[in-house]
Amino acid sequence: MELDTIAAISTPMGEGAIAIVRLSGDKAIDIADKIYKGSKSLKQVDSHTIHYGHLTNPTTGETVEEVMVSVMKGPKTFTREDVVEINCHGGLVSVNRVLQLVLSNGAKLAEPGEFTKRAFLNGRIDLSQAEAVMDLIRAKTDRAMNVALGQMEGRLSRLIRKLRQEILETLAHVEVNIDYPEYDDVEEMTHKMFIEKAASVKKELEHLLQTSQQGKILREGLSTVIIGRPNVGKSSLLNSLVHENKAIVTDIPGTTRDVIEEYVNVRGVPLRLLDTAGIRETEDIVERIGVERSRAVLREADLILLVLNYSDELTDEDLNLFKAVEGMDVIVIVNKTDLPRKIDLERVREAAKQHKVVTTSLLEDQGVDDLEEAISSLFFAGSLEAGDMTYVSNSRHIALLGQAKQAIEDAIDAIEMGTPIDLVQIDFTRAWELLGEIIGDSVHESLIDQLFSQFCLGK
């Protein structure tokens, strides 16, 4: 729909100390005001002014971010609609938290190219750009769909399908009660039965939100560990990744002070590089924190970057590392191609098995592209041009899951209030539709199909 208030992160990921979440639409100021605490309500401030304050979660009262908020009323804005820009601390965690907050308070995540499209539709962009806008929509949407689908293969998509089926059966049950009131074969869905269903769905949604790999990656980054013998170039690799991608160093509360983590964004894949301090200081994680601890770190990792030395023979120590990371996602980096080769690449490939092997000279900045490509294709099963797209589709899933959970909670509240079940059904249906949006399937007709396959009807 063209009429929702939309929001998106409008600064590139991982760049600069400040990030901006932009809202556009007739509810932009309302939504921002709901979560903003400052000296004045945003509804009362003049247009094109900027204000210091804090964002709080209106349901929990918890303070989320320290922000500067610009309020710009239409039509003198980019989209000609009311626009609010929330300037927050840069970095994946904080900017994402702000986005989620905005989304859970009524904004809809912008579709690819949607700000531009609105600007056009509202007459802000001239005619000559129209074709380009259309191409943009087509191209970006298709890519976003591909990425989304790529990610959706597997466990999460199966879980969501299962969950939707559960909801659908409940919906069909209620619908049968409504459309076939004299049909005595189905017991009447009671509030108690409904609340049990709703509670079980809610639990699964919460579980999904907490544990889904996608969600975890988005909130925390893909935890990545660089391993290798001393002097193979781990520290150069770290520096290279950090330098190339302008990482933001963040102290994560709750982690011990000596384990510092750094975030980088590699072609849309947010990486959380573990124990970077360790690498910087001693160049050897095993040496520094002991075998047990390093094993623990390894177990936590989503991605292993295993570095070998091109100018040295493959050692037993190297092979032990291969063994230690068996069954994990690994990229093997054979570094130092600027020096004469001593390593047997055949043996490396043998040891690497199905894992990707990349050769680099980090010193001469050779092969870094290949490495980044390997990282991104490992997680999105395809080349990805625009990094932010990945981020968007991830964030979209989380937003939808969150909204679905909210809808289920609304349903539970309503049941507890004694609201008639066909009204509660509205929230339940909403949850089903939202989950459908995640897997790109919201066809209403399937409820009716369910109705007739589940029950034998005919009055």
Residue ranges that bind other proteins, judged by CB under 8 A:
1-4, 111, 117, 120-121, 123, 127, 130-131, 133-135, 137-138, 141-142, 171, 175, 177-185, 188, 417-423, 426, 443-444, 447-448, 451-452, 456-459
* Shortest distance (Å) from residue 44 CB to other proteins: 24
157 among annotated binding-site residues: no
422 among annotated binding-site residues: no
* Shortest distance (Å) from residue 78 CB to other proteins: 17
Q: Select 173 or 272, whichever has its Cβ closest to other proteins.
A: 173
Q: Select 129 or 366, whichever has its Cβ closest to other proteins.
A: 129
419 among annotated binding-site residues: no
* Shortest distance (Å) from residue 113 CB to other proteins: 8
Name the pairing type of β-strands 330-335 and 356-360. parallel
* Shortest distance (Å) from residue 224 CB to other proteins: 34
* Shortest distance (Å) from residue 135 CB to other proteins: 7
Q: Select 18 or 180, whichever has its Cβ closest to other proteins.
A: 180
254 among annotated binding-site residues: yes
275 among annotated binding-site residues: yes
124 among annotated binding-site residues: yes
250 among annotated binding-site residues: yes
**In the 3-class helix/strand/coil scheme, how is the chain assigned residue by residue?**
CCCCCEEEECCCCCCCCEEEEEEECCCHHHHHHHHEEECCCCCCCCCCEEEEEEEECCCCCCEEEEEEEEEECCCCCCCCCCEEEEEEECCHHHHHHHHHHHHHCCCEECCCCHHHHHHHHCCCCCHHHHHHHHHHHHHHHHHHHHHHHHHHCCHHHHHHHHHHHHHHHHHHHHHHHHHCCCCCCCCCCCHHHHHHHHHHHHHHHHHHHHHCHHHHHHHHCEEEEEEECCCCCHHHHHHHHHHHCCCEEECCCCCCCCCCEEEEEECCEEEEECCHHHHHHHCCHHHHHHHHHHHHHHHHCCEEEEEEECCCCCCHHHHHHHHHCCCCCEEEEEECCCCCCCCCHHHHHHHHCCCEEEEEECCCCECHHHHHHHHHHHHHCCCCCCHHHHHHHHHHHHHHHHHHHHHHHHHHHHHHCCCCHHHHHHHHHHHHHHHHHHCCCCCCHHHHHHHHHHCCCCC
* Shortest distance (Å) from residue 247 CB to other proteins: 34
420 among annotated binding-site residues: no
Backbone angles phi, psi at 148, to 5 degrees: -60, -45
* Shortest distance (Å) from residue 100 CB to other proteins: 22
Q: Select 179 or 338, whichever has its Cβ closest to other proteins.
A: 179
Q: Select 78 or 120, whichever has its Cβ closest to other proteins.
A: 120
CA-based torsion, 355, 358, 362, 365: positive or negative: negative
Q: Select 164 or 267, whichever has its Cβ closest to other proteins.
A: 164
235 among annotated binding-site residues: yes
Q: Select 17 or 456, whichever has its Cβ closest to other proteins.
A: 456
Q: Select 179 or 287, whichever has its Cβ closest to other proteins.
A: 179
Q: Which residue has the tokens 């520290």?
A: 235
* Shortest distance (Å) from residue 128 CB to other proteins: 10
224 among annotated binding-site residues: no
Q: Known binding site for GTP: residues?
A: 231-236, 250-256, 275-278
Q: Known binding site for K(+): residues?
A: 231, 250, 252, 255
Q: Known binding site: residues?
A: 22, 85, 124, 231-236, 250-256, 275-278, 459
Q: Known binding site for (6S)-5-formyl-5,6,7,8-tetrahydrofolate: residues?
A: 22, 85, 124, 459
